[in-house]
Structure 1
Amino acid sequence: MNGLLHMHGPAVKKLLGWKIGEDEEKWCEKAVEALVKKLKKKNNGCGTLEDLECVLANPSANSRCITIPKSLDGRLQVSHKKGLPHVIYCRVWRWPDINSQHELRSIETCSYPYESSSKTMYICINPYHYQRLTRPQGLSSSMPSPQPIPSPPNTLWQSGSSTASCASSPSPSVFSEDGELQTHQRPPPFRHPKSWAQITYFELNSRVGEVFKLVNQSITVDGYTDPSNSDTRICLGQLTNVNRNGTIENTRMHIGKGIQLDNKEAQMHIMIINNSDMPVFVQSKNTNLMMNMPLGKVNRIPPHSQLCAFEFNLFFQMLEQSCNDRDGLNELSKHCFIRISFVKGWGEDYPRQDVTSTPCWLELRLNVPLAYIDQKMKQTPRTNLKEPNSMT
């Protein structure tokens, strides 16, 4: 047992008793240890360790601010992760699936909210001084944040996605005047591809195995082997790679039941369901645009939860806006590639900055929207046109 836990053992143990969720036990323990240390040491600010215990035992917005000193960049280092303090402790004690400060809003009576932390040396980490924004302001209530899969296990929300902020917003014409996404009928039918999507599996920056073409509308990608050669499963456990290292081997062991990809044609969206006991990380420009987040944002799907990874209504609106604009169509083609990493995340919130640094990941290529783009491309000048791919 380390010195910090030995020194504050009873307090840390007591605070961990109010922890929500079962994920990242060690990370939560270190986050609470760090907070206990700060609350014990601080000479100024507001709130004490006893105040924190009181609000966790008797949850109420009508409670004292509990502050810690603000660091130079405003973030707190916990283990190998850096994050904003109020997000960290809301994640520990209220919403374990929270991803970003943009999902939170302080209550009016909070004296040291994150929003005004630039004006003070302290920030309030009382989890009951923050409210969760269930969806970005102005979007339809039919689009909740990632939610645990309801019973029975195969029942799906009509739509779901992760919430955060955005540096690039969709064109206002994509949304109606009240902020809801305009429903848009699928354009006239044409010769659809035989497979609605294809999957390529990578280990670090190396492709492993064949390209899998998806014909069934529901496909499971797991870490097992499939002796039946079912056309509804892709089993990564049977793939070999002579260059596989220990980190990759260990990650593959945790893929387990993997993910389920559901192409919901009637609802016009594609869902990713995490059936495993470990988080899955998804980068979808379509989802990020819908949720008003930076296009490169990587969304974490907790175990046994789901995410709407592609919304066709938004895609068709953008397709319509990109008519006769080959640059716009080329840019839109990038929205048709979705990257999915098992167990390990990447991006600005993680040590790994690029998906090719993650041990095990997938690239999902959506053939149907790409076919619509190709159809539009044929109506534009062909000079300097490039075959769309995930890297261009």
Structure 2
Amino acid sequence: MLPGDRLHLMFRSRRSLIVRQLWKRRYTAPGSRGQGDGTPSSTADLHNVLRPAVYQLFKKLKDEQLWQLLEALDSRGYWDCGCILLPWEVHGSKQVLPPQVLLCRLYRWPDLHSTSELKSLTQCENFWRRSGEGSHVCCNPHHVCRVAAPEVSASSTYKRREAPRPAHAEQESGHYYVQRSHDTTLSGGSIHDAYWCKLAYWEHRTRVGRLYSVTEPSVHVFHDLPKASGFCLGLLGSEPRSQTVRRTRKKIGQGLVLSHEDGEVWAYNHSEHPIFINSPTLAAVTSCGQAVHKVLSGYAIKVFDAEKVAKLSGCSSMGDGPSDPHSVRISFAKGWGTCYSRQLITSCPCWLEILLSTPK
């Protein structure tokens, strides 16, 4: 055998090893939640159905792209492994499922049906590409999230009574603030500057740290994450902390990503635990009070819509007490409302307040 032939066999063997490793990392969690109509009854059946298409897709990827996919799966999005671009024409392709849907079904969501259920993250080239622009798509399964329909957590409803006015407090711009070194109610003041939002981190009724101003189109909020930049909650000191707060802080992990897109704000749950969201534009205008929505790991939801806010102006459906249509509140891992032991968001161990900039 010639040296060139031996080298070719070595590379073929190496590639086969990578493919076997990729197949081993397929979704194996028992009893996948919420499988759609027509989905095989078990993940094993699903994998048998997908196997031919998956191996055809692997053949189209270069060796370095296969390694890149393997690294992305091992990291589970803990660090960004870059885009895995593949030529793809929507019309005329023999492959039934687009590559990003195929790999997401294999590795993340067995009940996924189409690209309409997916949303590209800001670090992905697909996010910045205009519709119909280019013939390549990114098939990194951790460069997308799944769009969550507005779902009320345990059918609970929350009215804005969580900030009763202290006797020594003054009112400003729909919020109450206390004249002391640490706020014990909500962050006061409207935002009229170059930032599209400011973030306030809270532990129960105490705000921890200063307001974090956001000027970039997206911001990552996390507790401790290597190779990341953004609002790191793990660096914010607050002593003493209760055991409940310490346990919840550990669950924040990779946290969430907030992105500002043409008058809309999206929140992507990047952690391994659910987040709970209250926003005036997530609830129906005619509803009584504000709903609390549960968003699972790997899902994204539109938490703010400027057009809907205009319709809410002067509407009594925003509930009793002080309210701000440009404020969104997100609790990490712990829900609140009528179906929880925590009735108010100020009872949640760790939560985030998003103060959106109002039109000047």
TM-score category (smaller protein): 0.3 to 0.5
For normalisation by structure 1, the TM-score amounts to 0.44
Which structure's relative contact order is higher, taking Cα pairs within 8 Å and 6+ residues apart? 2
Q: Which has the higher strand share?
A: 2
